[in-house]
A and B are shown apart, each in its own frame.
Chain A
């Protein structure tokens, strides 16, 4: 026993072992805690933001194109297709003038939100409506007689 206490060879090896273990344990603990945010939520947020601005731009370019060819007396109706889910979540497209000003608003079920402007078009033709991505039909319609 006495020999055991006096023998101080390989202390640094033990210390190294302990220090490295602690370092890696804390590193993995940190990773474990933030793994969800880093690997799932972060990319998902980016995907949703990108897709939303893409779909928002689609809506505005559709409205602009329709505005350019509106008949003086008549009707124009256009169906469009949007993905039912973005980043695994359904969403609503909101163009309610009472609530938003000259803007298309896309809101996902988890609360992610993106707005796209429609410039001055809403001054000449009122744009109104709300649609959910899970609806079967999506349609923009204009009737000069209403």
Chain B
């Protein structure tokens, strides 16, 4: 112990030890800051089919409006009723959507439950409505909108 007091070599080694020590502490503090982002919270956002359900409902709304126009056009060129044309178009829409979503393991059923398009032929400015039942399931999440009421105008 007596020799310790007079021995002042190797001070740089001790100093570098201290520097390393403090920089490690600073690093640990930084690492702890980034731990706020979480595994489960990110995973939930990635897994939840928000975009898919939005795509289905918005596409159905958009397509229903478009199909109304098409059914009206077809009614003028052929003698089939608007309702009949509409059902044919909706069948195509429904089958293709179901197959596209089945392609990545999701079940989509669209079902035309009722429609009110008769006043459209007479060109009165009534609000015409279509009722569509939408269900979606991917095994974890089940969504059903029964019915989705869609307003269409001629």
Interface residues of chain A, those whose CB is within 8 Å of chain B, are 12, 16, 50, 53-55, 57-58, 61-62, 65-66, 68-69, 71-80, 82
Contacts and interface: CB of A to CB of B under 8 A. Distances in A.
Contact of A61 (B36, B41, B57, B144): B41
B38 A57 contact: yes
A69 B53 contact: yes
B1 A76 contact: no
B38 A69 contact: no
Contact of B48 (A12, A53, A62): A62
Contacts of B142: 75-78
A78 B144 contact: no
**Among A50, A62, A66, residue most surrounded by chain B Cβ atoms (within 10 Å):** A62
Interface in B129-154: 134, 140-149
Nearest to B50: A65
Interface residues of B, number: 27
Contacts of B36: 53
A64 to B, nearest CB: 9
Contacts of A68: 50
A50 B35 contact: yes
B44 interface: yes
A72 B145 contact: yes
Given A16-B1, A62-B48, A69-B54, A74 B40 contact: no
A69 B38 CA distance: 24
A90 to B, nearest CB: 16
B147 A79 contact: no
B141 A58 contact: no
Q: Pick the 4 closest A-B CB pairs, nearest first.
A: A54-B38, A71-B145, A57-B41, A74-B145
A65 B45 contact: yes
A14 B127 CA distance: 104
A75 B143 contact: yes
A73 B147 contact: yes
Nearest to B54: A69
B43 interface: yes
A58 B50 CA distance: 14
A58 B48 CA distance: 11
**Among B35, B44, B53, B57, residue most surrounded by chain A Cβ atoms (within 10 Å):** B44
B141 A71 contact: no
A57 B145 contact: no
Contact of B39 (A12, A16, A54, A69): A54
Given A53-B38, A58-B38, A74 B48 contact: no
A53 B40 CA distance: 10
Nearest to B1: A16
B41 A54 contact: yes
